[in-house]
Structure 1
């Protein structure tokens, strides 16, 4: 049995969005994140990362990137409204099942797939890994995303997939002191970091002396937590601020090996190993 945990940072294409999505800005536009009446000068292209955790007790994938269907007909796959808000790009070989194949891993080998939240670029590739042993989405996120009146989410992206819901319990970790212990040994903790979405899940991977923090979209990039820039989409700004402050605090801890945001343009594919 290996005495370490590895985290593979996998680049699953990119997304073009209004700059107000990752880096909130003051504007008279009521909904700048939709892209309506906003030109190319207001847009940025961001990477889309997923994270594979190799743990002595199994394999866990955090987020899934885009589905390969965005290569052929992204407007049909996402719907016109969602396509306008986030334009995908998924080069050949970068879909999540293709990335896993390069590592000689089949989707059925995955013990867990954890979805940080159910926006298109996080849950889009879920059907590529639908035969994973257990697929986990937080109960709060599930209820919000499956509300028929909530146009933010594209429910067809997970239709027909066997999804298990989990709940956060009281913990010493996180901005709201609530978490879920994935492997039962404290080494991979799913942490409630809401604000950008109701059930936003950050993931802390802990080794013997260091930890890695996967922020989900509670922070979009290093400058988010260093400059206190909230995500542009924040149904609960008070929660988002508290979650971002927690990310900032964790990033300054001497035992923090790395903070990984899903859309950080400063990051590139690499592997981090933490001794246990």
Structure 2
């Protein structure tokens, strides 16, 4: 019997305008929180995923670094420094209670960064890549070449959106597509056996990847990062308030819906779904 375990971890929370996750047509300013009352903002979980696989230990996304909340509470000054941008802080704030940074949770499981075979980054936004210092020392850290190119170039707003201080000293590598899965026929088979496949779901970011984790019996778990903000996103096909490529985002959301409704799909999870609590999923092959 072969078992893959997916541990859903919450690495703190992010505070955003309600028009960011569900602001289809609301406009960039509202989605960025401009003119939105503090009391109307939403606190959403920031997830990372530890995958215990017969071929090793893998991590998908890293969440927030401890430097966002040095004392485990909201800390404006620390966050601006950790984010590297006052403007980015105005768009989203974070808090990381004691023990919730990904490195702390791994340590509580008896896992050190050097035990991680590959850390896979869905895309390079702050609440996915800011925690990379927590896993420095992992055997490999990877992100799509398309995402790295987008973070280093792309539209002018990327100069605020992406700050290379989160990853520049991490030893991160880029990968090129080696498969044709997904809405754009671009995927990366991490182990070469189809069990861990990074699937390009651009729209939110050019190089963003969902992770499809498949057991020997063909059942799978889909982790779709910011391809949507909850189950509601794909069920109702709700576009977020900010996306780099709206047409591609619609195509990615439709693909997420189709994959999520497939009877072989065990669970389909967005990174910031407030209805999801930390838990462990097992893909067993008897």
Give me the TM-score of the superposition, normalised by structure 1: 0.95
Query: Which position in structure 1 is the counterpart of 2:208?
Result: 200
Unaligned runs of 5+ in 1: none
Query: Which position in structure 1 is the counterpart of 2:55?
Result: 57
Query: Which position in structure 2 is the counterpart of 1:219?
Result: 228
Contact 1:217–1:231 under 8 Å retained in 2: no
The whole-number CA distance in structure 2 between the counterparts of 1:231 and 1:217 is 9
CA deviation after TM superposition for structure 1 residue 126, in Å: 0.3
Any idea what SS the aligned residue of 2:9 has? strand
Runs (4+) of structure 1 exceeding 6 A deviation are none
Give CA-to-partner distance per residue, 1:172-223, whole Å, 9 cap, x none: x211122111111111111011000000100000011410000010111000
Query: Which position in structure 2 is the counterpart of 1:32?
Result: 30
Give CA-to-partner distance per residue, 1:246-265, whole Å, 9 cap, x none: 00011111111000110011
Query: Does 2:12 align with 1:7?
Result: no
Alignment coverage as a number of residue pairs: 273
Give me the TM-score of the superposition, normalised by structure 2: 0.92
> How do 1:66-145 residues align onto structure 2 when only pairs under 5 Å count?
66-72=64-70, 73-78=78-83, 79-145=85-151
The whole-number CA distance in structure 1 between the counterparts of 2:20 and 2:117 is 32
CA deviation after TM superposition for structure 1 residue 42, in Å: 3.7
Query: Does 2:193 align with 1:190?
Result: no
Contact 1:113–1:135 under 8 Å retained in 2: yes
Query: Does 2:263 align with 1:254?
Result: yes
CA deviation after TM superposition for structure 1 residue 166, in Å: 0.4
Any idea what SS the aligned residue of 2:105 has? helix
The whole-number CA distance in structure 2 between the counterparts of 1:217 and 1:30 is 17
CA deviation after TM superposition for structure 1 residue 41, in Å: 4.5
CA deviation after TM superposition for structure 1 residue 30, in Å: 4.3
Query: Does 2:171 align with 1:162?
Result: yes
